[in-house]
A and B are shown apart, each in its own frame.
Chain A
């Protein structure tokens, strides 16, 4: 051992530095051996039964129908497109789910800290019940106990003649652009750009940066301008397409299937309970002294929350929040239990029809991994921003 020249007195097998490195090498070797064993086991088993793994099947016609899809899809399309339909369905439920889970979670987290006994208790009961029962059970309950139990089509629940609900789904009106839509859209774009620059200016202005103005002024601009535009153009730029009753069901409008509705509400309710605890933990991590000091210099309660508590709490909230977002996206694979055609459900069908479970599962894992890593990356960028603000 040439490297042990510096410590000639100690033999290398008792040199802590050598042992540290050695133990790591042994660990990596064992890991590689385990992976190699699993891989050779798989390839041996497949070779013995004359099975060929590959992705050629993606180029073949799928031949099965999918219940709901964001892109046009017909059974004569390729397996690759069927898979894409599944990916988009997963993304749809994940993105909308994350949005609503964040809102519900933040409100519940704040409610959990409320000094109002009733609000506080309601939040606590909600969190504890939801966090301590399995999501799969909740999903099956919500699907078979709520959405499929809605009245049949002929007794459809009617909410003001625009929103309908029955056991075939929830039907919402769909905005349809009219000829004046393009003119109005320019107002909206101007509002967005203007609001952004207002925020940029105000949040850096020495006089206004520690007030509510950077938040309220752009928001007001963003709301008022499109409203103004709405009334300036001759006819309404958007009309509503109201769902109409057909032979089996409603047509037109936006139809949310019971499977989608059940999965979305299940994921939102479940994840929001965890987010609420994350938010509560974050808010409580801000030291009392900070709040007392803020009050001492005469800040109002709203200012204390917005200027002192939130910026410091976010630092603690964001990393665990990222985990919750990832959980939500991955938990959406439970859709298979209630028949929503997500990535995993469609993937399972493809695996069965083609007899190629190994490549399909690998494809599914790669897709989830890509989605999760992208979410992680975005949240880490946001986290860095929050951390800098905190100093």
Chain B
């Protein structure tokens, strides 16, 4: 009985190895008829995954168009950038509007978006596996992420890392935080910057690291930590939802450069161009003075630059988009200034000054290459 099992296993293994070998050589062992179906089945199954994975690699624009909606990775707990709006049940905010802008560019319909909430730890793998089409989740552009996560489209928000403390602590600089406990989110650039800055200042501290955004601020607000660190925009955003926003202050010090922008999976130039130029289009529109209100009249503009920007068929075709894609984007979400004011401007609880996030002609860093 045992002998029989050995003989049969051996025969099957030999047959399998032969079948899977790259160059099919005539099998020296006489193959019993029983294993024939097994042998033919094996190579067929190993070929299948390569075929299935192929469309995900090239032609994501076609993939997105075929699917009929854009899958956009976002934060789900950052008021002003992207969070569920209690009134409408929809995602709202600066980053969420950029998801809609990309959808408007591809489909002409800003509603064709599936928002996929991700935490800081999930966002890298989500890009690497190509599970999402674009990540617009207050993500800092760094060289390591540019090479291992995905390609960064132009920065939509120039930020810097800050640190928030309760006012009653009376701390003004990093040195005042010697020996302090600081809450920070895992898997962020701020986690590393914090360590670098404190090392540079020669100040010891204890980090308490959380995987999600809510526990990080809950622990800070309840007094587990003396301070919490993140991008200044995030601190301002989270302060608005604290019990007593006036009790907390964000220190003057800016600990790092945090350019935040959309990211697309590596290895797809065409799709990268679509996302990149969608961002540029919003910036260019503000520079031209094109807004969601006047965009229809502007298409008849006598200024050749503006006319080309809004109506040129050839340039749009090179991008793989419809001729009026810029009109659709501006109509759906407005130009950069409109997106900013709606979500972060003076009439919002965040009220973040434009600062560096101003058009280059007004002294900011926003600069779109010529659309021609």
Binding site for B on A (CB under 8 A): 1-3, 12, 17-18, 21-22, 25-26, 29, 33, 36-37, 40-41, 44-46, 48-51, 63-68, 75, 140, 144, 148-149, 152, 167-168, 246-249, 257-259, 336-339, 341, 345, 348-349, 351-357
Contacts and interface: CB of A to CB of B under 8 A. Distances in A.
Given A144-B222, A248-B180, A337-B211, A357 B4 contact: no
B191 to A, nearest CB: 6
Contacts of B48: 37
B191 A349 contact: yes
Contacts of B41: 33
29 contacts: A12-B34, A29-B12, A29-B16, A29-B38, A33-B42, A37-B49, A41-B49, A41-B53, A44-B49, A44-B50, A44-B53, A45-B53, A48-B267, A50-B267, A51-B148, A63-B195, A64-B191, A67-B207, A75-B199, A140-B215, A148-B219, A148-B222, A248-B180, A258-B224, A337-B215, A348-B187, A353-B144, A353-B191, A355-B124
Interface residues of B, number: 67
A156 to B, nearest CB: 13
A355 to B, nearest CB: 3
Nearest to A49: B266
Contacts of B12: 25, 29
Interface of B: 1, 3-5, 7-9, 12, 16, 32, 34, 38, 41-42, 45-46, 48-50, 53, 56-57, 120-121, 124-125, 128-130, 144-145, 147-149, 178-181, 183, 186-188, 191-192, 194-196, 198-199, 205-212, 215, 218-219, 222-224, 226, 265-267
Given A51-B128, A148-B224, A355-B149, A348 B196 contact: no
Contacts of A345: 186, 209, 211
Contact of A37 (B45, B148, B207): B45
The prevalent SS among residues of A at the interface is: helix
A357 B46 contact: no
A17 B210 CA distance: 57
A136 B199 CA distance: 35
Contacts of A249: 179, 181
A65 B206 CA distance: 8
B211 A49 contact: no
A65 B222 contact: no
B227 to A, nearest CB: 10
B5 A353 contact: no
Contact of A45 (B3, B4, B130, B192): B130
Contacts of A259: 208
A69 B124 CA distance: 27
Max chain B C-beta neighbours (<10 A), residue from A17, A149, A353: A353
Given A25-B9, A336-B211, A355-B148, A49 B128 contact: yes
Contact of A67 (B46, B187, B208): B208
A65 B207 contact: yes
Nearest to B12: A25
B210 A339 contact: yes
B184 to A, nearest CB: 9
A36 B46 contact: yes
B4 A3 contact: yes
B223 A167 contact: yes
Contacts of B125: 357
B42 A18 contact: no
A51 B127 CA distance: 12
A355 B123 CA distance: 11
Given A75-B199, A357-B124, 11 more contacts: A3-B3, A33-B46, A49-B128, A49-B130, A49-B267, A144-B222, A336-B186, A336-B211, A339-B183, A339-B209, A353-B192
A353 B50 CA distance: 29
Contacts of B223: 148, 152, 167
